[in-house]
Amino acid sequence: MKLLRYGNPGQERPGLLDAQGRIRDLSQHINDVGGDTLSTQNLTLLASLSIESLPLVEGSQRIGPCVANVGKFICIGLNYSDHAAETGATVPPEPIVFMKATSSICGPNDGIEIPRGSEKTDWEVELGVVIGKTAKYVSEEHALEYVAGYCVVNDLSERAFQIEREGQWCKGKGCDTFGPIGPWLVTRDEIADPQNLGMWLEVDGHRYQNGSTKTMVYGVAYLVSYLSQFMSLQPGDIISTGTPPGVGLGQQPPVYLRPDQHVQLGIEGLGEQRQKTYAADV
């Protein structure tokens, strides 16, 4: 299934995408697409519904973040060997873990706000992993059983805030609108191998990123298991698993986002995002 949330910010309703690419409303069956509805049992019940009997949503609709009320937005840094090389970094002996503010989350096609004083806002297409049941001290062998599904994430980053302003990376990662997720949460059963998905990103029609989850250093199952050794992963938590090469920081010379640009990105089987940049109020 491809689960989604549609409607104005703060007023999103649950839905799913049918075989014709149309939105079907799920409000009679679940309150929202979030932690308490992502268990295997609930997803099995949703999968048993007759899609054609669900109300068809008419007209153009804003697509909201594909998961509501995210508890933790956990990110992995330098998790692609080719991306580490382009930034001059070495592959870490263990995953680099940082948190992205949940207030950064927005819809997949919402605008990207360039923060006040920013000169180095960058892009990162990433595979998002959505947790479906509580994971604590789980083995790598069984880790994928705790995954509800996958989504596209744009892990936007302000590189000066992240790297040049001292402290941890979170200052450059948690700005408002820096976490578009979606357009849909694709359930685990539809993705045969999360380590074999093409991914790409373009700015104003120029393709900068063109990679694959094949080059992840630490795969999805490893990351779920690894993180669960340090903190319990709760239903609705999102793990953003790192980015392939082609970020603005890695260009020669570096290239960064400016207001009034168009960003488009996607991952095989998970859909696409389209965003326009704008300047923060000064």
Task: Give me the mean pLDDT over the 217-232 stretch.
Answer: 98
**Phi, psi at 45, each rounded to 5°:** -65, -45
Q: Tokens standing for 212?
A: 């694959």
pLDDT in tens, 51-91: 999 999 999 999 999 999 999 999 999 899 877 777 777 78
Domain shared by 81 and 189, yes or no: yes
Domain shared by 136 and 214, yes or no: yes
Question: Which amino acid is located at 16 in the chain?
Answer: L
Predicted TM-score (pTM) of this structure:
0.96
What percentage of the chain reaches a pLDDT higher than 90?
Answer: 91
Looking at residue 110, its pLDDT comes to 98
Question: Beta 206-212 vs 23-25: how paired, if at all?
Answer: unpaired
Domain shared by 167 and 258, yes or no: yes
Q: What is the CATH number of the domain that holds 196?
A: 3.90.850.10
Task: Kindly tell me the burial class for residue 86, based on how many C-beta atoms sit within 10 Å of its own C-beta (0-12, 13-18, 19 or more).
Answer: middle
Q: Is residue 8's pLDDT more than 80?
A: yes
108 in a structural domain: yes
Domain shared by 244 and 142, yes or no: yes
Domain shared by 47 and 134, yes or no: no
What's the total number of domains in the chain? 2
Q: Is residue 282's pLDDT more than 70?
A: no
- For 249, the domain range is 73-279
Task: Give me the mean pLDDT over the 19-29 stretch.
Answer: 97
Looking at residue 78, its pLDDT comes to 87
Pairwise CA distance, residues 116 & 251, whole Å: 23
Looking at residue 167, its pLDDT comes to 74
Q: Which of 1-15, 87-101, 151-165, 166-180 has the highest mean pLDDT?
A: 1-15
